[in-house]
Structure 1
């Protein structure tokens, strides 16, 4: 490398902050600069020039890259390339997400990516070899400053996690004590919150934890206030203030599970979230409810496949205490027992027909379709079920009772 490409010739000043450094890089290569951490949170940016676009404006206004831009860059394979390479990467315009032409480079310490430098380009221009060389030197120069940022964030996060564990375990005896400790943190708790739990297949490794941090910090679907890890579980406290909070959290859970598998090859079998509460002292309740959702989803995989919200469990949330109550006699009600015995003796399938009919909200059309039989055949079977078991299937109270009893057979 020639003399003009040595770091000391370009970055021989002491910079008061990263913004001054971004201005220096911008002046040297002639393009506006943004500097992000590894989670795409904006750390610094140079002043605007004639080159700007929607993505740059939204990044500066929101202090982080818009989620739609991040998702697009993952789909195009650009972020994986930045994570794997220390070379500058040219990015062509992505008009659908408001992103103009870019050149980007990762800021690294060995194999660990600390952040990124992005330069916005003119649509018809490409950076010169000298600009690319300066950008590579800038990435090396920014390393120490980003290491300091990373250290400060880690200390702050450890403090947050300690407090969060005290919430989950009911460490303090009163709401007043919880509130007094909360005053140490700059971010205020929302008016209503809920606890989310993700159950992983195995213990969460440091590498997986890095991926978790990335997705938590880049999502804009919900606001996550606290998060912590307990062996194979990721636990979060999130804002539940918005009217559509339940839908937003369910959507976030679905995308989080999908992104962990698609981007990082990490499978998360299930997740759930508890009811919303306003008092800090109730965090333990929401956590217990989230864990109950996970427990029930493991038992009723088909029935609860699309359910993450404790409040949408319906009768399933009552199955645990009911199962404990039934354990003393450990047998089906007489009519259902007779129906099972009839099936075994005559090689019929009436018990399954009844379960399907009840699971389909007693809708004959839906039940016939699921059973792959004609509606007349279903009507005949339901009539025989009533005759054999003695239950009046036109009585909603009886149908609810039978539905619970049948589901209880799967609880153990």
Structure 2
């Protein structure tokens, strides 16, 4: 997946000197991007966003998620650690090229560690896309990254100083960048920062950059809400991070306050705009060292929601209730890489596609409600008898055993991906189309059109195509013009079964319109033949 990038060559000094003189990491980022003509992202050692180039807007899907959530997606970090890339970055000064991971929206890029005083403080990512960096560019990166490491360190110190001592201490809590708990509590006391004994961290992010304005409105709501609550918040470009203090002896009190806050935000924002928020609630803890853990848990909820793009209110916002959702990204990657499908679900997709049913969604709701019919029917807004009929259809079409817990659990995870991740559903649809083509019937017709009427015929064929494409059992069709003989065409129409053509279409009103539009052009009248695919092993 990766390889070392070596080779030391001289490069022009002008841009390099400007970067080495820069005291602002954002300016340095823009200079790097301008020189390399590539999108650039700089992250700290925890893979949290520090800076990104604004001159380029063609960031890939992974980088867009990093910019929105202020942190590299966890499943990407896990992949980098699994491949040993993070360890290699810490041990060597050279840049590393990472191959694309297409199903995760991760394009080819180069990454190099930014170090200061012998410690890795962050990483510089350059998205290569179609054109790889030259050796001079790689050497350029190796020369400037020590200065970038210092800028990352300086920025952290400047931001904290600017936001005030309380904010600085809160960031230290979230980043777990303090010496000892005793010293931290002493510093907090001097800053008049009340350290909570029971707490949860809540993070609000937005689904897209155009909704950043909503964070300003959210800040107003949070300030109003905390009039009689003990909470602190930090605001970044795309997030508001809230530390909620619970009552010391009241278990889950901080979580309950978080729920109240979310409901208040929903009322204030309005239901339609509310769902432009991505919200994560970390677990409740009573030990200060776990403040960062609660924060990372809240971020994981947001990253998961960003990955699957769930329907409103279908996915838990609390990490403690996230359950199987935590593993969807890993399952997506594994099943996609192995080209794995559930035959039962393929059958349901086939039925939904051909007969306009909703068996896939029905099965997900039925499994989510643990087979409770009344609750499932209410959730789907259908009559219980309709639900019973759909479940009976599912049982007749598939081998699903509703008494087998392991089978139900597996199907439910597949359904969460199918019904929430469009790429995953399209993968199934493609498999369904491949299977359908294996058994399809080909209608082949050699056509002779009266000379001089070819253009008129082709226009009529376009109109007639709407009639045939609406028929049950129709898959697709082609019209091919002969290169050697004027007025000669080959028409291929693909059907699921022979009867779909000979009975379903030939005995329909649509066929009458088809004949009216096309038959007057033929001389002589064509002969229709049907073919099936030969399995050559």
TM-score (norm 1): 0.52
* Correspondence for 1:350: 359
Matches within 5 A, 1:201-216: 202=209, 212=219, 215-216=222-223
d(CA) in 2 for partners of 1:348 and 1:211?
A: 40
Structure 1 segment 2-401 matched on structure 2, within 5 A: 158-172=164-178, 175=181, 178-179=184-185, 181-200=187-206, 202=209, 212=219, 215-216=222-223, 219-220=226-227, 222-224=229-231, 226-241=232-247, 242-243=250-251, 244-259=253-268, 269-298=277-306, 299-304=309-314, 307-371=316-380, 373-401=382-410
| Matches of 1:204 and 1:173, distance apart in 2 | 38
Residues 68-113 of structure 1, C-alpha deviation per residue, up to 9 Å, x if partnerless? xxxxxxxxxxxxxxxxxxxxxxxxxxxxxxxxxxxxxxxxxxxxxx
Contact (CA 8 Å) 2:202, 2:298: kept in 1 or not?
yes
TM (norm. structure 2) is 0.41
Q: Which is higher, the Rg of structure 1 or of structure 2?
A: 2
Question: Post-superposition shift, 1:239?
Answer: 0.8
Aligned length: 255
* 1:204-235 CA distance string (max 9 Å, x none): 989975982674266245310x3211102111
What is the CA-CA distance between 1:296 and the residue it aligns to? Answer: 3.9
Q: Which stretches in structure 2 are left out of the alignment for 5+ residues?
A: 1-159, 424-537
User: Does the residue aligned with 1:327 lie in a helix, a strand or coil?
Assistant: helix
- Alignment partner, residue 67 of structure 1: none
1:364/1:256 Cα in 2 relative to 1: closer, same or farther (>3 Å)? closer
Helix, strand or coil: the match of 1:199? Answer: strand
Distance 1:166 1:203 in 2: 30
RMSD value, Cα? 3.8
Query: Does the aligned pair in 2 maintain the 1:274–1:311 contact within 8 Å?
Result: yes
Greater relative CO, 1 or 2 (CA 8 Å, sep 6+): 1
Cα displacement (A) at 1:257: 4.8
Q: How far is 1:194 from its partner?
A: 1.3
CA distance in 1, matches of 2:214, 2:386: 56
**Distance of 1:380 and 1:214 partners within structure 2:** 47
Structure 1 unaligned regions, length at least 5 = 1-153
Q: Provide the rounded CA distance (Å) in 2 between the counterparts of 1:386 and 1:327.
A: 27
- Residues 391 and 240 of structure 1: CA distance in aligned 2, closer, same or farther (over 3 Å): same
Distance 1:319 1:176 in 2: 40
Secondary structure of the equivalent of 2:244? strand
How many angstroms apart in 2 are the aligned matches of 1:168 and 1:378? 47
**Contact map agreement 2:280 2:298 (CA 8 A) in 1:** yes
Q: Distance in 2 between matches of 1:348 and 1:258?
A: 35
1:261 deviates by 6.9
CA distance in 2 between partners of 1:323 and 1:181 (Å): 45
